[in-house]
Structure 1
Amino acid sequence: MDFVIKVMPKGEIELPDEIKAQLRPGDEYQVFLIENSIVLKKIQKELDIKEWFRRIEELGPDPNQPTLE
């Protein structure tokens, strides 16, 4: 999927909603300059147990959870 963004006079960029939806507070990215391209690569952090449970809780109940019925 390709997106076009515009650089504002002060250097800010407006990201499309599809990109913003992938970003989470605290995420970190490496930035690479390759010829005439700028590449962002997410830094994968190891999850601690607290963060793992937080993410599971964020997902909510599984509608396909098997039951004993």
Structure 2
Amino acid sequence: MKLYRYLTGPDDASFCHKVTDAVSKGWHLFGSPTYAFDAETKSMRCGQAVVKDIDGVEYEPGMKLSDY
């Protein structure tokens, strides 16, 4: 099964740590990062898709993807 997650966060070190944590757990960057202005908070937000292949596990809609 291929898992997909879209990580988002403020444009600061916490976002970089979130992506670094996922990559260190075997997730792979998928596509280009995104960068957008959040008008509500008047700040920039970052996003990055990550994917991971998991053998022997069937997808369930209720599964917590970050556990992998």
Larger C-alpha radius of gyration, 1 or 2? 1
Above 0.5 in TM-score? no
TM-score for both structures, normalised by structure 2: 0.29
- More contact order relative to length (CA 8 Å, sep ≥ 6): 2
